[in-house]
Amino acid sequence: MQNSDPQFKALPSTQLGQNWCVEVVWRSGKTDMVTGFENQYAAIEWIRLKSANWVADKIMQRPA
């Protein structure tokens, strides 16, 4: 699974009403954004505690 080990980065959000987001960069170069974090700490905690499950869910959603 070459795309199963993305890099995560907490960033200030550019979307109105959103404070922080997490940028996910897959090995293929594709990017995803996870939005809705109140602050940098919340974004980093999501990376630390929930990103592995998020990646697993993304991989399971791929078409066969």
pLDDT tens string 2-49 = 445 899 999 998 876 669 999 999 999 999 999 999 999 999 999 999
Residue type, 15: Q
pLDDT confidence of residue 3 = 45
pLDDT band at 62 (very low <50, low <70, confident <90, very high): confident
For residue 24, what is the DSSP state? E
**CA 58/CA 51 separation, integer angstroms:** 10
Residue labelled with tokens 């995560």? 8
Quick check: pTM over 0.75? yes
Q: Is there a contact between 25 and 7 (Cβ–Cβ < 8 Å)?
A: yes
- Three-state SS string across 1-16, please? CCCCCCEEEEEECCCC
